[in-house]
Amino acid sequence: MVHNESKLTSASKGLFVSLMAFTGILIAVVFDVIWWNQGAGLASIHPRLPAMAGGLLVFIAACIFLGTLLLVLTTLFGKDILGTRLLRGAAIKFLLPFIEFIGRLMGISRDAIRQSFIAMNNSLVLSQKVRLKPDRILILLPHCLQLSDCDIKVTGDINKCLRCGRCPISGLADLAEKYRIDISVATGGTLARKVIMEKRPKLVVAVACEGDLTTGIKDCYPLPVLGVLNERPYGPCFNTTVDLLKIDEALQMVLKQEP
């Protein structure tokens, strides 16, 4: 049965899958051209070398196409199919830079590609049906969610928040308290990595912009990260906000149900 669409995966995953397929085809064509042009030279070394090189390139292309198919099936059925966890790593570490480059050549904005990538990553993480105790999950927030004119800085200790309700920090702190989950506010990638190293969670629910989320997902792999995009009514890194319902949904989907 096809799973219900989650707010965490509602962005167009099809864009990333399509670009991944196109990138795979392009890589296969480039390999074929190289093989074709170098065939004579390889044959001069050993008569069987062109066939061996061609077979290797066909194998690589087949792996790319199989990976794309698995991404599509995982998205449709919401289940971890044949090692999707490893596929997520390949997409994150190796294919994403090529896909971003191809997308830019096609006139597709980097943010659109990253939004699609984040949605796909969330689908792959959720497909693993991970269920964890609250103390194994971390909510990680950017400092720009707090109002810039607030005198109380919650970086490092969100419990300093007075819960005035003027910014999302109050609601997020209440949500973490409700589920008894650790929550931290970081001023950048370096501090975020430090927090993760110290707290050693099994899963992170992270809020950030497209660029920071994409970088964070890559840096944290193989640690699973559910990414939730912030909203930027006043521009980047200034008085941003986030849909609390998306955070709540993410937590409900990964929390182990108590008996």
| Residue 177, token pair as written in the block | 């308290």
Neighbours of 84 (CB within 10 A): 22
The pLDDT tens digits of the residues spanning 95-138 come to 788 888 888 889 999 999 999 889 888 888 888 888 999 999 99
Give the C-alpha separation, 224 to 165, whole Å.
30
What pairs with residue 249 in β-bridges? none
Q: Per-domain residue ranges for the chain?
A: 7-127, 134-254
Return phi, psi of residue 225, to 5°. -125, 125
Cα of first residue to Cα of last residue in the chain, in angstroms, is 27
Say which CATH class 134-254 falls into: alpha beta
pTM score of the predicted model: 0.83
The pLDDT tens digits of the residues spanning 43-90 come to 666 676 667 766 777 777 777 777 777 776 776 676 777 666 677 777
Whole-number pLDDT of residue 64:
72
